[in-house]
Structure 1
Amino acid sequence: MSEISYKKLFDLTGKTAIVTGGIGILGRQFCSILAEFGANVAVVDIQYDSAIDFAAELESKFGQKSAGFYCDVTNPESVEQMVNDVIAIFGEINILHNNAAGKSNNLTQFFAPLEEYDLDQWNQIMDINIGGMFLVAKYVGKVMVEQNKGGSIIQTSSIYGIMGPDNRIYEGSYYLEHQINTPAVYAASKSAVVGLTKYLATYWASKGIRVNTITPGGVESGQNDIFKQKYSNRVPLNRMGKSHEIAGALLYLASDASSYVTGQNMVVDGGLSAW
């Protein structure tokens, strides 16, 4: 048996990674860690100009080829075009971080009580959070199968995709000046991510394509102090997460360090789900 370099297992040099939702709070961290460990990065987002600007920052900072791409993940033609554009620039796709998700363009409707929840709002969120994830996995997975080189697909869920919310923490809690909660549609869509991951992991296993989920716990992103304190009181580590603390899980699952890991859900939640 030849000696293994464990450090090299995390090296992504020569690989191309797509990150959807690439300019979000977590998306920027995900793109950065992939680039720092050697990957060429396709920053994909519906905010095209911001994706281009951030890709330029990545290339300047880490010296890896990066480019920004527009994609509406709910539109099959847009997803297919994005995948074709990535291939045209980078030549192949080795890693997909299926990370794009949405809340709503109407936070009042998004945070409405269950008894008053609008079906159109429900369908809008489902279309982005799970329909979009299916479409991106479908088109990227097809490319990976045709390349016949395997690959790694990582999909982002949420702590409320695997456990119910403690509604007591939302009393007096605000996000961007809106009273907040965890809507049922958010929990249902993020739970579906885990199910889709397990399906794809077994479906593409014979092709050497690994598919896993990352489930972050609560990450600081503009919540008020009341929410932060109440949430932290529910967490064994007694704090919310920082955006960069989720990125290490992505590096592991994207790299050969996790070559025998597929169909799994890596929970990064400070211990919340352990209580």
Structure 2
Amino acid sequence: MIDLFSLKDKVIIITGATGLLGSQHATVVAEAGGIPVLLDLDQSRCDQLSNELKQKFDVEAVGYKVDITKEEEIIENISLVRKKFKHIHGLINNAANNPKVEDSTEKAFSRLENFPVSVWNMDIAVGLTGSFLCAKHYGYLISQNPEGGSILNISSDLGLIAPDQRLYRKVGLSEDLQPVKPVTYSVVKAGLIGLTRYLATYWADKNVRCNAICPGGVENNQNPEFLKEVKSRIPLGRMAKKDEYKGLVLFLLSDSASYLNGSIVSADGGRTVW
């Protein structure tokens, strides 16, 4: 049974690898004996995390500075990874901009009627186009393995439901200045669900599975009043801890989920049930 959950010597690409959840994904890959290949925009943070994983879990971890919105950088990285490891066994499309709720008293840039096209383009480029490009190139290499492999897209509960904009309201602000969760977050996360279903059928004959998880929010020093309101909307009565998705990530990457393909797994404490 333990072997079913092993990632021993499997090379797993992780985008946005040094972020709050990306680092947890990288950790569980290393804990399971895999080789986490960390992609992010800061080489020093990639090096720091890869060194920590190597020392703690005695695995061969490596990090690369890659801007996944630039196809040429992905292609260049693939040549390095293939030279070093020969094969790629898995991909976690985790990188995304997390557009902040704007609380400016001059102009509410998060609101749809004010939202800049430049921000829209960048959020889509990172979260959706970047995932497409990584699937196009890393996913293709996974399809060349005799045994196939696994692609995991990190969506969100807000890929399944609309954001409850009441959570972000500020007392005393006029309606046109009220902050909201920006539109791009929902669009990107819903788009990843569509990408998941497409990829689940595209290389199925090569035994490449593709699934998505839809995590709920992670408690991370948010405003106490905000936390109170969010928790009231979650059946379990709390937000997630940052390490609570590790088991699900491991399951979907490993052979224990060998017949799971095209699944969209909500992991949100029950929020989308209500």
Measured at CA, do residues 124 and 105 of structure 1 come closer, stay the same or move farther in structure 2, by a change above 3 Å? farther
Q: Does 1:25 align with 2:23?
A: no
The residue that corresponds to 1:200 in the other structure is 199
Q: Which one-letter code corresponds to 1:121 in the other structure?
A: V
Q: Which one-letter code corresponds to 2:15 in the other structure?
A: T
Give the 5 Å matches for 1:228-267: 228-267=227-266
Distance 2:123 2:181 in 1: 13
| Match for residue 127 of structure 2 among 126, 129, 142 | 129
Measured at CA, do residues 111 and 264 of structure 1 come closer, stay the same or move farther in structure 2, by a change above 3 Å? farther
Distance 1:29 1:181 in 2: 28
Whether contact under 8 Å (1:104, 1:110) holds in the other structure is no
Distance 1:241 1:138 in 2: 31
**C-alpha displacement of 1:180:** 5.5
Whether contact under 8 Å (1:51, 1:69) holds in the other structure is yes
Distance 2:101 2:111 in 1: 14
Q: Which one-letter code corresponds to 1:33 in the other structure?
A: V
SS of residue in 2 equivalent to 1:43? strand
Distance 1:92 1:111 in 2: 44
**C-alpha displacement of 1:106:** 10
Compute the RMSD of aligned alpha carbons.
Answer: 1.9
Measured at CA, do residues 9 and 127 of structure 1 come closer, stay the same or move farther in structure 2, by a change above 3 Å? same
The residue that corresponds to 1:141 in the other structure is 139
Measured at CA, do residues 180 and 55 of structure 1 come closer, stay the same or move farther in structure 2, by a change above 3 Å? farther
Give the 5 Å matches for 1:214-225: 214-225=213-224
Distance 2:200 2:250 in 1: 18
Q: Which one-letter code corresponds to 1:85 in the other structure?
A: L
The residue that corresponds to 1:84 in the other structure is 79
Aligned residues: 265
**C-alpha displacement of 1:45:** 0.6
| Match for residue 44 of structure 1 among 34, 39, 45 | 39
The residue that corresponds to 2:68 in the other structure is 73
Distance 1:19 1:96 in 2: 6
Distance 1:49 1:39 in 2: 22
Distance 2:218 2:269 in 1: 10
Whether contact under 8 Å (1:111, 1:182) holds in the other structure is no
Deviations 1:120-155 (A, max 9, x none): 211111111100000001001121222333010001
Structure 2 residues not aligned, in runs of 5+: 172-177
Measured at CA, do residues 181 and 248 of structure 1 come closer, stay the same or move farther in structure 2, by a change above 3 Å? farther
Distance 1:33 1:124 in 2: 29
Q: Which one-letter code corresponds to 1:193 in the other structure?
A: L
Structure 1 residues not aligned, in runs of 5+: 1-5, 174-178
Q: Give me the TM-score of the superposition, normalised by structure 2.
A: 0.92
Distance 1:243 1:180 in 2: 25
Q: Give me the TM-score of the superposition, normalised by structure 1.
A: 0.92
The residue that corresponds to 1:181 in the other structure is 180
